[in-house]
Structure 1
Amino acid sequence: MPTTRSDFSGPRDLGEMQAMCSRVWSPRARFHPGQLAWNRYSQPVEPDRVGADEAISLWRLGDEVVGFGWAEGPDWLELQVTPDHAEVARDVVDWFEDWSDAPRQSAVAMEGDSVEPVLHEAGFRPDRDGWHFTHHLLDLRELPPVPQVAGYRLRPVEQGEVAPRAAVHRAAWAEFGRSRVSAEAYAQVMQAWPYRSDLDWVACDREGRMVASVILWLDDVNGVALVEPVGCEPGHRRRGLAGAVTLAALHRSRELGAHTAQVSPRGDEDYPGPRRLYQALGFRPVARTVTWTRSLD
């Protein structure tokens, strides 16, 4: 049976992409279902269409998604295919080339993934020494206790707190540029599967203002909770809040049946802080991404 391709048409398609990611999840798989939810909804979007400078397409075998390409821009491709249909990667790369007019194009793959030979055949070359992400795992049976941080309270987000929850995220990430996580966008995040408010935790100061935060995305099928993202306002850093709020959410995920936690910080030395935080909590690296680039000049 041949595969069929269709362009992204809304939340149902995203759900099928997430279902594929859950079906083939392993420590070396590119995406956890929660990552797709965050990537899609952490900025204001129209639910049934992609932005002007992006494209998403899905490949199905019968009724089941076996691969997808997500062009986040004309020069950047994210893709994942099921291991038993690696040949679909060729169709994804061809689709991206037809859609993109960028003279220089990059694609991200897990090191050793079945898509790497396809990228090589298409003229992409790997940069194994450049910036990359490293998947880390934590066995939740080995979860440390939640530390008490004097002057702060750790708790899950409550109903009606969309605006302050979005604001604490923006404040934590402001040093990297203007964040697009508006209250509108965060409301979309909260509606996305597999978001749960009891896995969305914040640290509040004595006045009750949110100053640090974390979301965990629990894939019930695999029992794996993804940590994405964590942040702390600059004025409240170096007090252990980011680690404490993450541990509080991880303990809740274990209560809900998770046995493993995953996080994917940068693995290079240009941005080592988050990786050191997670490793201090017990996370250990298991796999990494590689960026492949080609020039069409």
Structure 2
Amino acid sequence: MSITVQRSTPDSLGEIVEAVAGWQHAGGPVQLHPGDLGWHWRFGAQELAGAVRVWTRDGQILAVGMVDDTAGLIRMGIAPSVDDDAAFAAQLLTDLSEPGQGVLPGGAQAVEARFGTAFRGLLHRSGWVADEPWTPLFRDLAVQVENCGLRVEVIDTHDTRDRIVQDRVAVQRAAFAGSTFTLERWRAMAAAPPYRRARCLVGYDRDGDAVATVTVWSAGAGRPGLLEPLGVHRDHRGRGHGHAITVAAVAALQEMGSSSATVCTPSSNVGGVATYVSAGFQKLPDVTDFRRTI
């Protein structure tokens, strides 16, 4: 049975999201998640489809990559069924390395591969080296989550409260320098299939000001959920709002049936890591992308 790689299409994205959701499992690494695809969907289905590559064998999706052309990076999700599959790993490496395969015009310069024993081992042996370290964190949701201490508004896919959505967008833009998030992009994201298992949360302080926001993504009941993104308004930092909105996010994922809450942030983001730990997350050993040297 031959292994093929192809670009996705807007019509195929729903099937791809469901495949990636099925690969998430408790205790596994934080690999490409439906929430990563859902967050990117804010730019529209056509642009997301242009960034997604799909590997299949006998009609079954076995790996998905989301490309960042500007960085020469591809973020991989790999099915547990091919974790130790040496032939599949070899084909992945060939497809990622050769420009003619169409994955990236100049071939991948960096690969985020946090799952796939055979593939990761082959990258090591083929001269790919460790890149920037990232810190994965998780919180088990078997125990009831504490109160976060903020008033939190939850926005699901059917929400029509324009003011709350506008607050969601405003806090995002105030939390991240250079953010291009807009109301139209929120609507594109919220209308997409991944958001059917997602929520946006907006936290308000005692004065009624919107101070923090997060989007949480479920992969389905009993599977790990993801926080992506989370931010505190630049004018309201240093007051514990990051901790509070993180706890609120965990509670939302628990209510949605997730087995755990997961996040992965650059290890250089010391403050961010500390915030997650303060909110009950367990810090796991650092992981790195693989960078091509030849």
Smaller-chain TM-score range? 0.7 to 0.9
**Equivalent residue letter for 2:288:** V
C-alpha deviation, 1:103, in angstroms? 8.5
Alpha-carbon contact 1:107-1:293 (below 8 Å) kept? yes
**Partner letter of residue 69 of structure 1?**
G
Partner of 1:272: 270
Map residues 63-142 of structure 1 onto 2, 5 A cutoff. 63-73=59-69, 75-85=72-82, 86=85, 87-96=87-96, 97-98=98-99, 99=102, 100-102=104-106, 105-110=109-114, 113-127=117-131, 131-142=132-143
* Offset, 1:171: 0.7
- Higher mean C-alpha deviation, range 59-68 or range 89-98: 89-98
Distance 2:2 2:141 in 1: 41
C-alpha displacement of 1:196: 5.0
In structure 2, C-alpha distance between the alignment counterparts of 1:138 and 1:59, rounded to whole Å: 31
Q: Is the 8 A contact 1:111 1:288 kept in 2?
A: no
TM-score of the pair, normalised by structure 1:
0.81
User: What is the Cα deviation at residue 243 of structure 1?
Assistant: 1.9
Distance, in Å, in 1 between the alignment partners of 2:107 and 2:60 is: 33
Task: Give unmatched runs, 5+ long, in structure 2.
Answer: none
1:95-131 CA distances to partner (integer Å, 9 max, x unpaired)? 333144548811122277432123235432224xxx3
Unmatched tracts of structure 1, length 5 or more: none
* Structure 2 CA distance for partners of 1:225 and 1:198, relative to 1, 3 Å: closer
Q: In the superposition, relative to structure 1, how do residues 286 and 192 fare at CA in structure 2: closer, same or farther (>3 Å)?
A: farther
1:201-240 matched pairs, under 5 angstroms: 201-205=201-205, 208-240=208-240
Q: Which amino acid aligns with 2:76?
A: L
**Structure 2 Cα separation of the partners of residues 287 and 224 of structure 1:** 18
Q: Which residue of 1 aligns with 2:282?
A: 284
Aligned residues: 279
Are 2:182 and 1:182 equivalent residues in the alignment?
Answer: yes
CA contact (8 A) 1:136 1:285 kept: yes
Q: CA deviation at 1:191?
A: 1.6
Aligned residue number for residue 263 of structure 2: 263
With over 3 angstroms needed to count, the CA separation of the structure-2 counterparts of 1:117 and 1:249, relative to structure 1, is: closer
Percent of aligned positions that are identical: 25
Tell me the residue number matched to 2:16: 17
Q: CA deviation at 1:155?
A: 1.7
Greater helix share, 1 or 2? 2
Rounded to whole Å, the distance in 2 between the matches of 1:251 and 1:196 is: 17
Cα distance change of structure 1 residues 116 and 83 upon mapping to structure 2, 3 Å threshold: same
Contact 1:79–1:92 (CA<8 Å) still a contact in 2? no
Does the aligned pair in 2 maintain the 1:103–1:295 contact within 8 Å? Answer: no
CA distance in 2, matches of 1:189, 1:111: 27
Return the match for 1:170 from 161, 169, 173: 173
